[in-house]
Amino acid sequence: MKDFRLYAITGEQFHPGRDLIEVMEEAIMGGADILQLRDKHSGREELLRKAKDLRVLTRKHGVTFIVNDHVDIALEAEADGIHLGQGDMPLTEARKLVGGKIIGISTHAIEEALAAEEQGADYIGVGPVYPTATKAEAAPVSLSYVREVAARIRIPFVAIGGIKLDNVDAVLAAGTTRICAVSEIVGSSDVAGTCRAFIRKIEESRSRI
């Protein structure tokens, strides 16, 4: 898959009254280079409409587009890939359905990361690094898990969970070169500016490697 630096995930609860596409376009303008539609509330029809709208937007800007959970929506909206949690469809089954599309897997322990790599995931999520209300049910994994993945995993990985501009330096120092955030990006009063600030920090950290 095309490499990425800043992964922005939708979270409409964080921008009440603001249009989804407008907010995500601002994220792209600020440098987000991969977008994920994550929506646990909408029905199928609404989800498909959002996916198709985000596909138009991301195609216009040459940005990778991923759909969370719903393989059928990802296929119908011509997304670049899907993102699956540990409790979702097994990777090997998803691979049969999506062929060469990107498959991302959330991981919370090194055994899960190694298994995802072994089974052919294109990238993994590593988190939640910090406690987060966005996925309150998930226990934080801490920076030591990021360090372990950086040392042992060869496929691309992205750190996620409670990452803010004021704690991202520590996450980058733990060895990730990619950052994913929901609330800090889409809940910002300056979405593009927040993304630019993330990108600056990611680039600074990459230049030290």
Report the interface residues with ligand 3NM, using CB under 6 A: 9, 38, 106, 125, 127-128, 132, 134-135, 138, 160-163, 181-184
Please tell me which residue in 101, 106, 178, 205 is annotated as part of the active site: 106
55 is annotated as an active-site residue: no
Instruction: Retrieve residue 185's tokens.
Output: 């990006």
Question: Could you tell me the smallest distance in angstroms from the CB atom of residue 181 to ligand 3NM?
Answer: 4
Q: Measure the CA–CA gap between 60 and 70, rounded to whole angstroms.
A: 23
38 is annotated as an active-site residue: yes
Please tell me which residue in 95, 135, 147, 201 is annotated as part of the active site: 135
- Judged by beta carbon, residue 81 or residue 208, the one nearer ligand 3NM is 81
- Judged by beta carbon, residue 36 or residue 205, the one nearer ligand 3NM is 36
For CA atoms 10, 20, 49, 44, give the dihedral sign.
positive
- Judged by beta carbon, residue 28 or residue 160, the one nearer ligand 3NM is 160
What stretches of the chain adopt beta strand conformation (E)?
6-9, 34-37, 64-68, 81-84, 102-107, 123-126, 157-159, 179-181
Please tell me which residue in 38, 147, 164, 201 is annotated as part of the active site: 38
Give the number of other CB atoms < 10 A from CB of residue 108: 19
135 is annotated as an active-site residue: yes
Amino acid type, 66: I
Would you name the residues annotated as active-site residues? 38, 106, 135
